[in-house]
Amino acid sequence: MCRTAARALVLIGLSAATAFAQAPDSLRQQTPAQPAAPAMLRLSLDDAVARAIERNPTVAIAAKNITQAEQLFQQARAVTLPFVSGGVTTNTYDASRAFNGEVFQPQTQATFLLDANMPILAASQWARVGQARDQIGVATLSTAEVRQQVAIAAAQAYLAVIAAHRQAEVEQRALDNAQVHLDYAQKRLEGGVGSRLNQVRAAQAVSTEETRLEALLLAVQRSQEALGVLVVENGPVDAASDPAFEVPPVGAEAEWMAARPDIQFQRSVASAAQRVVSDSWRDWLPTATADFSPQYVSPAGLFAPQRSWRLTLSLTQPIYDAGERRATKSLREVSLDQSTLALTSLEIQARSDVRVAQESLDSFRRSLTSAQRAADQANEALRITTLAFEVGATTNLEVIDAQREARDTETTRALTEDGLRRAQLDLLVALGRFPK
């Protein structure tokens, strides 16, 4: 009954399509055409990484830290340079003041003042200039580390897209095999040589594979959206091709350790902290300033010449500060110890990263060889089982089991290939070779 109804629906659909094809052009033109969906952007791994570094807001924020450090350096440097200011003062009294006919205080008098001030001995301020310059280097290396983190995230998202595609392709082949088996079981049933049980089992296998395929296709879309977010595209982005990672030999530790952006950054932090501690002795030195102030008074008074200047030299030596400078130095030493310990911990982690990445790479290479062999064997077993079922030497349960086993081994091979690509990426990152 269900099959008859299906045939009726198909005939109705064909009749409607024929009638529409034979209808006048004016009638067909009334149906609005659906706009074609825009083609999805497809990128190579290098292009995806480059776009992520160029467009990702995280990198832009880190780059602003360099600008901020540069401006802080300018502020610290400005304190050690001459400072010149000028001013005008006008005084108006109720009346002028005179003595023996000589006006010594005009009713309205303007004073034009120029003041130039410069430190001539400011050891602690001069030290802050070098310390601020160090922070520019720290911010620059911090930005490089952020760039690497964004590049790694983009590469991992790219590999996730490839892995999702591979699993969906494996599932599509499994669905095709299950559909072929269902068609064969359906034909046998209609020919009177098959059983309803075999047909139902084959249909169940098709339904199961369709469910798995839908989930995997959704995983593909999600991974494409994640890649699109990282490369700052307003839409999903697909992987154009499989990346070819060129993994170099590990080499000497000093070489690859110095190439890692995180090690470079932490070393710059420790070096900057060491400079601050080393400059602590400058806080005990005196400070000296020179101030030169020329002025012009108009009109001149009896006791106030029209032109005059003043030069002031001052020297200040802190004598007692209740231990403030010692406490400041102790805090700087604590900061240095923290940065040094962080560097030591990071170097230990870096060595572990290289060892683990190398072992993972070797392990996945061996596993991939086994997974490829297992997939080939499972496909051969499926072929033999299918032929045996067609000649009546086995049941369809064994065919379904062989199909499931072939699908699982193909999935394992796809996952192992993804693990190998990720291990190659991890080793490049551990050696400081990614991004290039």
- The DSSP code for 210 is H
Token pair 């467009």: residue: 55
Can you tell me the distance from the alpha carbon of 366 to that of 384, in angstroms, rounded to the nearest whole number?
27
Tokens of 312: 């002031």
CA quadruple 330, 336, 338, 340: dihedral sign: negative
Compute the distance between CA of residue 78 and CA of residue 135 in angstroms, rounded to an integer.
16
| H or E, element range at 111 | strand 108-121
Provide the pLDDT for residue 21: 39
Q: Residue 192 has what pLDDT? A: 87
pTM, whole model, 2 decimals? 0.82
Q: Which two tokens stand for residue 274?
A: 């060491």
**What pLDDT shows up at residue 305?**
82
Mean pLDDT in each 10-residue stretch from start to end of the chain (436 residues)? 37 36 42 62 95 93 93 92 92 81 79 91 92 95 95 97 96 94 91 89 94 96 96 95 89 94 96 95 93 90 82 92 93 96 97 96 97 96 92 89 95 96 96 92
- Residues counted in the chain: 436
Q: Is 159 in contact with 418 (CB distance < 8 Å)?
A: yes
Domain boundaries, the chain: 40-283+292-315+329-430
Fold of 40-283+292-315+329-430: Outer membrane efflux proteins (OEP) (1.20.1600)
Note the pLDDT of residue 3: 38
**Strand order through the sheet with 307-316:** 83-92, 108-121, 287-298, 307-316
What pLDDT does residue 104 have? Answer: 73
Query: What pLDDT does residue 35 have?
Result: 58
What is the per-residue pLDDT for 151? 96
Q: How far apart are CA 283 and CA 281, in angstroms?
A: 5
Mapped onto helix, strand or coil, the DSSP state of residue 107 is coil
